[in-house]
Amino acid sequence: MRESVTLAGVGKTYASGVEAIREVAFQVAQGEFLTLLGPSGCGKSTLLTMIAGLLAPSRGTIAVDGAPVQGPRRDVGIVFQSPVLLPWRTVLGNVLLPIEMLRLGRRPWEVRARDLLAMAQLTDFAAKLPHELSGGMKQRVSICRALVHDPSLLLMDEPFSALDALTRDQMGQELLRIWELYRKTVIFVTHSIREAVFLSDRVLVMTPRPAAIGFEIDIKLARPRTLDMQESDEFNGYVGVLRRAIETGGRR
């Protein structure tokens, strides 16, 4: 099993003096779906931003595919809580933004962008502007954008938390479908225990700030996962374990 992401002794103290992350170490295998679960303000976004190379850790090292992270890298895709679509660009234009930024030449990649949109059931919306889309559709576009340059690592910071519960379940299923097709390594951040259990191969529970990894569990639910599984005893067993882990402050 090859490692995709390795964090060793990573800590972050902001210039303001806030110690967001005490010490975090974990590894993510290639193709693994890993979820970070933790209370609000514990430093999940900070951690993800550092893995994306947008923020330098104060201590420790982060490596992606064996190479230390020193800045943004071309093989990372990122999805934020809000879709951050440029309102003046069409859906297709938004999906192709990373291609333009990376100066890859639009023509050859447009085919892939359209394939991704088709898979996200957005074919008919390629030429529409973002304001003509629903919240869930916008977030699907931003997932397409994160995948368009064929990154090996996908970072997702509470991508579904702004959506209503029904849409959220649907999006989770679609994300899994896409993930099973492309088998990217995913690091997913959420507040929702059920979402974590439903999506992940493994869940890490973070302690309140300054964060550390307090608890870790492999989710051995069969794949492909279906919404029906959410009623199974196995599923709810995991939910219970994780809830207790969070209640005890994530500490074992």
Partner 1 sequence: MTVRSLGWPVMVTLGILAAWEAVVGALGVKPVLLPRPTVIAQVLWTKAPLILEHLWPTLYEIALGFLLSVVGGVLVAVLVTYSTIVRKGFYPLIVVSQIVPKVAVAPLLVVWFGLGGTSRLLLAFLIAFFPMVINTATGLTSVDEDFVRMARAYMGSRWQIFTKIRLPHALPLIFGGMKISITLAVIGVVVAEFVAAQRGIGYLIVMANGLLDTPLMMAAITALSVMGLALYGVVAIVERAVIYWQQPTDPARGGFA
Binding window for Mg ion (CB under 5 A); candidates: 44-52, 162-170, 214-222, 238-246: 44-52
- CA-nearest of 94, 199, 187 to 148 is 94
Task: Tell me which of ligand ATP, partner 1, Mg ion, none is bound by residue 42, counting a contact when its beta carbon lies within the kind-specific cut-off of 5 to 8 angstroms.
Answer: ligand ATP
Q: Are 26 and 204 in contact (CB under 8 A)?
A: yes
Beta strands in the chain (DSSP E): 3-13, 19-29, 33-37, 59-64, 67-68, 76-79, 153-157, 185-190, 202-206, 211-218
Which residue, 87 or 224, is less far from partner 1 as judged by CB?
Answer: 87
Q: Does 209 bind ligand ATP (CB under 6 A)?
A: yes
- Maximum C-alpha span of the chain: 53
Q: Does 54 bind partner 1 (CB under 8 A)?
A: yes
Q: Does 78 bind ligand ATP (CB under 6 A)?
A: no
Which residue, 47 or 78, is less far from partner 1 as judged by CB?
Answer: 78
Q: Give the one residue of 43, 98, 172, 250 binding partner 1; rule: CB under 8 A.
A: 98
**Of all helices (H) and strands (E), which one includes residue 106?**
helix 106-119
Q: Does 80 bind partner 1 (CB under 8 A)?
A: yes
Start-to-end CA span in the chain (Å):
27
User: What DSSP designation does 71 have?
Assistant: S
Please, is 252 exposed, middle or buried when counting C-beta atoms within 10 Å of its C-beta (0-12, 13-18, 19+)?
A: exposed
Task: Tell me which of Mg ion, ligand ATP, partner 1, none is bound by residue 46, counting a contact when its beta carbon lies within the kind-specific cut-off of 5 to 8 angstroms.
Answer: ligand ATP
3-class secondary structure, 250: coil
Which residue, 4 or 207, is less far from partner 1 as judged by CB?
Answer: 4
Q: Which amino acid, residue 109?
A: W
Residues that bind ligand ATP (CB under 6 A): 14, 16, 18, 20, 38, 40-46, 209
Residues that bind Mg ion (CB under 5 A): 45
Residues that bind partner 1 (CB under 8 A): 49, 52-54, 72-74, 76, 78, 80, 82, 84, 86-88, 97-98, 100-102, 129, 131, 149
